[in-house]
Structure 1
Amino acid sequence: MRNKLSARDRAFQYKKEGFYCTDNSTVMFNFCNTKVSWDRKDTIEKHLKSAKHVASLAATKEETTKLQTSVASCFNKVVKDKKSADYLGKRVTETFVKANIPLEKLNNEHMVNFMNEFIEGSGALPCVKTLREKHLPRLNMEREENIKEKVKGKHLAVCCDETTDKQGRCVFVIIFKIIEASHQVEIVVGDVHILETADAKSCSRAILDSLNKYNISYDSVLALVSDSARYMGKCFDTLTNLMSDNVVVIQCWAHKLNLILNVLGKHLPELQNATSKIKSAFLNTRKRKHLFRQFLDDKYEAGRVPLFPVPVLTRWSSWYESVAYVSDFIEAIVEFMKSDDIASVSNVGVQYLASLSQEQVLKPTPHDAHFLL
């Protein structure tokens, strides 16, 4: 005698078709949630062929396929978005660095609004801190590898100089001037060092560290170039002893000339005062400069005579250029300052020039405070 099947056994027979047993007496169809009589096998077979079962099964398969596609596409989209955001962060960092734009500008409200409006996906751009900590080091490594390839097996000159940043720190910049056999010259910034103090020891160590970092042999260095500061002279003496006697030491003649001009300015205080007064007459006065430009074009050939070159303390030889300009065009400057529209201006420089007589302009003496030019 054959054993009688239970509801659980019957559900197990049609498990692949989606039947399951809720208890020992009830069999349900999973997809259409229909209760099916399980005692007779043909009853279940008829249900499997019914329109309701076929429709429910088809709908379920379609929904499952859509779900699987959606999950896969979502995963791919996440991966793609992550790669896109990483690439965008790298390119933005690289662009800002090459354009000399501080990364902090990305936090500016107007910049954020602009990028969100015109750059698709800019909302996924990492914060400035992430850009600085993640992408800047990567870009620096790529740059260093690129420099290594450029200087490999090439002769070069090492140019260096020291300056001060806005925080008062000593910034020592090292530049490689690559000299090709075809006499083509390429210049790359090798390193920027923050030194505690600018002296021969710290500068020579910084130069040697840069040469070692880029695998540059000492024999490849043909020249050392810098200003004529005393500590740089000692620095180059140390380096030439380590490298070769054939290394040429070149000191900047523009710096030496500037030192000479500084001496002239100190020993000719009256000339220095006169130049300062003329500078004050033209400084931060767009309208007065525009009128002077028209005056020069009317008096001379249009565009032939430039405007007064304002001397700048930190710009080498600019004081000499100003003095030479005044020597050539002092009559025109005074004539302009004596005009009705300008002479009434309450400016120290304008009043100084407007008060000069024709005799003082045309016949300067060595002791004249205004024309020792």
Structure 2
Amino acid sequence: SDHPALRKFLNEKVINGGAIPGFHQVQEMYLGAVYEREKEELKTLLAGKPLAVIFDETPDVEGRCVLNILLAPLEKDHSGRILAYLADTVFLAQCNHFTVSVAVVRCLQEYSIDNEDVIVFDTDNAAYMKKAFTAALQSLFPNSLHITCMAHIMNLIGNAFRKPFVQLNSFMLSFSQMFFNAGSRKRRYLCFMTNKLPRKKASKPPVQHAGTPGSLQCSTTHSTLDCTRTS
């Protein structure tokens, strides 16, 4: 409500729109109470029901690890669908099987979920997600099983069809690397820059150009032609 365009709209188009509080007042006076009320309602909704726990990690714009945890009661609603609810969003200093499993267990404890009620853990196909289940979650939640999302399974099937086309695969891999920096590399770079220059906000790492370590070994101008020849 503090954006100039929105504030102008409220003042001109809404009766008493100028009385609508700014985001600081909304955050300090209302948001906390609304959050706690919604959390209690969600606890009541999930209590005693078999659950699927869905969690996935993604980097944000600053390269931090963000873990989203969703809880889905395995009962259909009035429309015949199974709904998942966002239970928590956790910022992790490091993303590995230990930090992920600790965050998931803490979330389930906050919602007073019985260990026996967790039936499914649904994640992507990453190695640390698998280890989070086998090394920690499997023993804590005896009725649970681990499944990976269908998109990753379909990706594995697609990879089986691509294997015979070696040269094409090499070209496509080289082409995709032109636009890609691994999330872990971004996080290490941002952490390094923050430690070295604490008074300045760290920016994204520069894009590597051809000929530098870890980049493509093809010229920028003739990248397609050179990659095709080397493959």
Relative to the length of structure 2, the TM-score reads 0.66
One-letter amino acid of the counterpart of residue 190, structure 1: A
One-letter amino acid of the counterpart of residue 189, structure 1: L
Aligned to 2:92: 195
Match of 1:161 among 53, 56, 78: 56
* Distance in 2 between residues matched to 1:223 and 1:184, nearest whole Å: 17
Q: How does 1:135-174 map to 2 (within 5 A)?
A: 135-174=30-69
* Distance in 2 between residues matched to 1:161 and 1:209, nearest whole Å: 16
Residues 1:241 and 2:163 are matched in the alignment: no
Give the match's secondary structure for 1:192: strand
Q: Is the Cα–Cα contact under 8 Å of residues 76 and 82 in structure 2 kept in the other structure?
A: no
* Distance in 2 between residues matched to 1:154 and 1:274, nearest whole Å: 46
CA deviation after TM superposition for structure 1 residue 214, in Å: 0.9
Give ranges in structure 2 of 5+ residues lacking alignment.
181-220
Aligned to 1:304: none
* Distance in 2 between residues matched to 1:133 and 1:271, nearest whole Å: 53
Q: Is the Cα–Cα contact under 8 Å of residues 64 and 91 in structure 2 kept in the other structure?
A: yes
Cα deviation digits, residues 13-72 of structure 1 (max 9, x gap): xxxxxxxxxxxxxxxxxxxxxxxxxxxxxxxxxxxxxxxxxxxxxxxxxxxxxxxxxxxx
Aligned to 2:75: 180
Aligned to 1:219: 116
Distance 1:203 1:275, change over 3 A: closer
Give the match's secondary structure for 2:70: strand
Cα deviation digits, residues 280-330 of structure 1 (max 9, x gap): xxxxxxxxxxxxxxxxxxxxxxxxxxxxxxxx98xxxxxxxxxxxxxxxxx
Equivalenced residues, count: 180
* Distance in 2 between residues matched to 1:233 and 1:275, nearest whole Å: 25
Identity over aligned residues, as a percent? 29
CA deviation after TM superposition for structure 1 residue 116, in Å: 0.8
Match of 1:258 among 155, 158, 168: 155
Relative to the length of structure 1, the TM-score reads 0.42
Give ranges in structure 1 of 5+ residues lacking alignment.
1-105, 278-311, 314-347, 353-368
Higher relative helix content: 1
One-letter amino acid of the counterpart of residue 112, structure 2: N
CA deviation after TM superposition for structure 1 residue 231, in Å: 1.1
* Distance in 1 between residues matched to 2:38 and 2:3, nearest whole Å: 28
Give the match's secondary structure for 1:225: strand
Aligned to 1:302: none
One-letter amino acid of the counterpart of residue 65, structure 2: C
Q: How does 1:87-126 map to 2 (within 5 A)?
A: 106-126=1-21
Distance 1:201 1:112, change over 3 A: same
